[in-house]
Each structure stands twice: as structure tokens, then as C-alpha cells.
Amino acid sequence: MTSKFNLNCLVLGDHPRNIFPVKITWTDTVGDLKDTLQLWKVDLPVDDTLGRNHLDELELDHKTPLSPVDEIFEVFDSPPQHKHLHIVVQPLPAGVSRKASHLSIKLNCLVLGDHPWNIFPVEIISTEVVGNLKDLIKEKNQHEFNNFDAKNLKQWKVDLPIDDTFDGNLNELELDHKKPLSPVDGMFEVFDSPPQHKHLHIVMRHQ
């Protein structure tokens, strides 16, 4: 199990001609491939259909990246096929550490106009974007948000302690002069430090 072999790898978004080999042994771990990358195992023939069909149809958002502690012989329980793509690579956003890429953020959210008793929690990974948060919020409020798409939610970041001052602080929010969160903002950008416990973090309304 010590013999070396090549894995054919491709950075997501690159042309298939930029596939590159990585030499590794069975006893190495996924972490030995690269610490600053997210990796997924695939098995796609490198032929005329690769760029046109297979790469465009990959749905990695619903697939867990390989764990850096997985050993290669666990990921590939049989030798990788010749002339196939074996690994796709996605660099982490600039400034995001490997640890942060797996960090869950727990947010307390409230629909504007609702009673504070209706504050609800949402958990999201720090490398996801505000648009993903919209989807999670709509999913948690299916009855209230049944008649419009998640994209029509406007969200603002707030930082209000949930205590005796909460109602007054909530009523004093002036959101008309505050820019809503952009759907393409990364959660690690919106919350560059952990959200405070027992605080309200996100308020929203639909357009």
C-alpha cells in the first residue's frame, strides 16, 4: 500500500486542458493533497464530453467535500481509472482559513413586524453566501413566505441584545437608510467575528 500513483485534478472553472496530475500514496491523507483547497472526488472520463456536459452538471453544493483526515485508500478503494478526472478543486475565498470553511454560524432572525417571541435560529456555514441564508429562512417560514421567492427577501444585519431594552431598540431601527445585505456577500464577510449569544443578528422583510 506504499506505491505512488497519479490523481488527475482540475480547479473548478478551468478549461479541461488544465487538468494536472498529483502524485500520492495510498497511505497519505486528503490533507496531504492541499491545505487551502476544498476537494471533491469525481469519476469523469477525460474525453470530448468532459467540458461540454459533465463538468457543467456537477452539483457540488449538495455534496460534502473530502475530509482532510480521510486516507486515500478510503477515498479510492480501487485504483483510479486511467484517463479519468478524479478530483475537482475549489480554492477557499481569500482570507478564509481551512478551519473557518467548516465553521457553522448560528444566527437569531426576526421578520420585521413579528413579535420578539417569534425570533428563530438559523445555522449556516461561514463560506456560504447571503443568498443561501435567504433560502434557509424561507424554508423555516414556509407558511408566511409561501407566496414569493426567497430572492425577494431583504435582510439587514443588526446586533441587538435580547433583554429589557430589546423592544425599544428594535423600534428605533432606521433601515430605510441602511443598505440591505447583498445576496453574493459571504457569511464570513458579514460576520467577521462570532455573533454574540442572546442577540438578534438578522432582520428581514419581503419586497
Contact present, 155 and 178 (Cβ < 8 Å): no
Q: Among the residues of the chain, which ranges form H helices?
A: 49, 72-75, 130-140, 166-171, 187-190
| 174 within domain boundaries | yes
> Residues 175-180: what's their mean pLDDT?
84
| CATH code, domain carrying 76 | 3.10.20
Q: How far apart are CA 26 and CA 29, in angstroms?
A: 8
Beta bridge partners of 105: 124
Instruction: Express each pLDDT in 4-45 by its tens digit.
Output: 778 888 887 777 877 888 888 878 877 776 655 678 788 888
Closest alpha carbon to 186 in 145, 133, 136 = 133
Contact present, 21 and 8 (Cβ < 8 Å): yes
Which of 65, 91, 117 lies at the terminal end of a domain, its last residue?
91
pLDDT of residue 72: 84
| 96 within domain boundaries | no
CA 35 to chain centre: 17
| 108 & 194 share domain | yes
Which of 46, 70, 91 lies at the terminal end of a domain, its last residue?
91
Q: When comparing pLDDT for 3 and 182, which is higher? A: 182
Longest Cα separation, the chain: 68
| 44 within domain boundaries | yes
| 167 & 107 share domain | yes
| 165 & 75 share domain | no
| 67 & 114 share domain | no
> Residues 131-148: what's their mean pLDDT?
86
Backbone angles phi, psi at 169, to 5 degrees: -65, -35
Q: When comparing pLDDT for 133 and 77, which is higher? A: 133
| 194 & 121 share domain | yes
| 22 & 74 share domain | yes
Q: What is the tally of structural domains in the chain?
A: 2
Beta bridge partners of 125: 104
| 202 & 105 share domain | yes
When mean pLDDT is compared across 92-101, 127-136, 190-199, the lowest value belongs to 92-101
Q: How far apart are CA 154 and CA 179, in angstroms?
A: 10
**98, amino acid identity:** R
| 52 & 147 share domain | no
| 59 within domain boundaries | yes
Which domain range does residue 138 map to? 101-206
Contact present, 61 and 131 (Cβ < 8 Å): no
Instruction: Express each pLDDT in 69-104 by its tens digit.
Output: 778 888 888 888 888 888 888 765 555 554 454 567
Name the 3-class secondary structure at 79.
coil
> Residues 59-76: what's their mean pLDDT?
75
| 109 & 202 share domain | yes
| 165 & 68 share domain | no
Q: What is the DSSP letter of 205?
A: E
**20, amino acid identity:** F
Q: How far apart are CA 157 and CA 180, in angstroms?
A: 8
Q: How far apart are CA 126 and CA 140, in angstroms?
A: 19
> Residues 117-128: what's their mean pLDDT?
89
Which of 67, 91, 115 lies at the terminal end of a domain, its last residue?
91
| 9 within domain boundaries | yes
